[in-house]
Chain A
Amino acid sequence: MSKKKSKQTLIERMGNSQIWKSIIRSGIPRTRRQRMHAILGSVFLHLHPARLPKHAVKIGYTWCMGGLSFFLFVVLTITGIMLMFYYRPTVEYAYTDIIDLGEQVPLGIMRELHRWGAHAMVLTVWLHMLRVFMTGSYKPPREFNWGVGVLLMTITLFLSFTGYLLPWDQLAIWAVTVGTNMARATPFLGNEGPGAAMLAIGDINLVHAGSDVRFALLGGRFVGEATLLRFYVLHCIGVPFIAMIFMAVHFWRIRKDGGISGPL
């Protein structure tokens, strides 16, 4: 008996250990049953069904773009948390903290990973949309999930945009100034928007430079200290929170709409 046991490979022995079995109940997934169980028994993997039609696992069909968008979101969350250890969102420190990230922090490529990852995510989300369109996967019964996707894309862009301000360099504040200047022109709600003058009580304008949507976005009349804080909070907590909710709905609906689309 003991002789037979020593013939087991290292992996087999590991797979039969109490620790392994307590984590992955089925042991090393070898049989069909165990492999299905490996998916169903894991909170992460059970996002997937246990079995899929062949075309659905081909890179040529989905280009992996939805998956990569999600992967990048995770990478950005992790690197973002690390950046938060160093970065202080004040006009006094923001810029110098960013310099320190590159110069003082050992192996400091977190900022690079975070910035390039964010650019890459915008790309993968657009390409994902392209593939969903070109395969006609927005058609019923997936029309709602297409809509959720469009919102996810909007959220992704907004996440990227709020992050753009944080380095507090010339690139940052002017890009955000150009972007948020548009809000000034929002119909009815911006102080230079058509119709805003109509929202008045007698001679008192309700919508002016100190009360319009741009003011709400910036926390002031121009891009300054309050804007930095606002964008920081939105970027690190507010928008990711919303993104996660929409992603949960998105993934849930993929399964509920009959899994990945395919020809009938």
Chain B
Amino acid sequence: MDALKHAIDLLSAPTISFTLITVLFPFVFPPGDWFEKIHRKLGFWRIWTKPGLYISLVLITLFFIMGYYDPNFNITLTKPDNFPIILLVYSVVICTWLSMYKAYENDKRMDRGEKPAEYNDPDDKVLVWPDLVYIEFIALIIFMVFLIVWSVLVAAPLEEPANPAATPNPSKAPWYFLGLQEMLVYYDPWLAGVIFPGLIIVGLMAIPYITTSSDNLSGFYSFKERRVGIFLFMYGFLILWIFLIFIGTFFRGPNWNFFGPFEYWDPHKLVPLTNVNLSEYFWVKWIKTGLPSNILLRESIGFISVIIYLGVLPVLLAKYVLNDFLKKVGPVKFSFFVFFGLSMLSLPLKMYLRWMFNLKYIIAIPEWFFNI
């Protein structure tokens, strides 16, 4: 048991767990033919069948049960405010599964030339009274009962009175913002706390205006014809949002250090901070001249990298990789699509730069609060 716990602790480290799920992700939601082939061959498609759901739920439940009986994990797991995250894990797994299960059923039907399961004769409608009103009424009662039981069983937490002089360690934002707080490890507040949330909101709103799959694919679950879109959305939602919330809740302890789920939250855990800026890498380590005093010259390499990433890369993509897509949607939609895509990608990118090269900032101008 201890060996298993130890193994889970090791696997949970963001470097490993994030890499694992990122690598596996395209085989679970295959965005292309090659991925689809392996998805079929290695049996990943079974996740989206009924046994797949049961096994996932059993595994998750076992994990939580193990956690409940572990003296360390028990502390975070049984915090009243963390119960919603447990609900979140179950409901997101069930809902994702349900939509993919239905999507696969519909894909099969459409391969056979049939209409999707949601289709019905336009003349054959049901009356809202009683058919819908009753369903709503029952859903409402069940949910209200659930809420009342939850409220009776779990008292709302109340800690010590507010004390501006005593900062708790760790201080955490409310759970639904922990994805953003996790981003703070890699990006400065002006990006992680302002620009990225803004881009998430604008990017989500832009989805209907920059996607290309046919408008006829609206109104029923489907995957095959929308696989790239679903892959991108799900990566953002499940990994960059839900998974980061999970990490932030259960795996981040004092000083925002990483702790495995079964590890003791040692406030004195020391993690060496050896992060180096790109400018230092370039001027000090490679060409050995020392940092220039002119800020812009000092950070020129960083500026060039960012310009290449956001300015040159899209052109290259347009020319060599996504040329079909460009032809289909035109330059304006294309630019927005690539901009949002690269912004989203910049989070995992910075994570790996940090993990692999201890890179702190690509552009570091603390004088102007301008660090990327």
Contacts and interface: CB of A to CB of B under 8 A. Distances in A.
Contacts of B226: 136
Interface stretch (A13-21, A116-124, A236-244): A116-124
Contact of A54 (B120, B139, B221, B370): B120
Interface of A: 29, 32, 35-36, 38-39, 45, 48-57, 59-61, 63-64, 67-68, 71, 75, 91, 95, 98-99, 102, 109, 111-113, 115-117, 119-120, 122-123, 126-127, 130-131, 133-140, 142-143, 146-147, 150-151, 154, 157, 160-161, 164, 167-175, 177-179, 181-187, 190, 192-197, 222-224, 261-264
Contacts of A91: 162
Contacts of A147: 205, 208
What 6 pairs between A and B have smallest CB-CB spacing? Answer: A182-B193, A143-B208, A112-B151, A185-B189, A261-B219, A134-B99
A64 B368 CA distance: 49
A60 B103 CA distance: 12
Q: Give the size range of B's interface with the partner.
A: 35 or more
Interface in B267-303: none
Contacts of B205: 146-147, 150-151
Given A111-B156, A174-B167, A143 B209 contact: yes
A91 to B, nearest CB: 8
A173 B161 CA distance: 9
Contact of A139 (B117, B150, B177, B211): B211
Q: Determine chain B's interface SS by DSSP, over half rule.
A: helix
B130 interface: yes
Interface in B13-44: none
Contacts of A190: 190, 194
B267 to A, nearest CB: 16
Interface in B132-166: 132-133, 135-136, 139-140, 143-144, 147-148, 150-152, 154-164, 166
Contacts of B158: 95, 98-99, 102, 167, 169, 171
B193 to A, nearest CB: 3
Contacts of B119: 55, 262-263
B330 interface: no
A227 to B, nearest CB: 11
Contacts of B323: none
Contact of B219 (A164, A174, A181, A263): A263
A169 B161 contact: yes
A120 B119 CA distance: 31
21 contacts: A32-B127, A48-B132, A53-B122, A54-B125, A64-B135, A109-B148, A111-B156, A120-B84, A126-B92, A135-B221, A140-B215, A146-B207, A146-B208, A150-B201, A154-B201, A171-B157, A171-B159, A182-B189, A193-B190, A261-B219, A262-B119
A50 B209 CA distance: 32
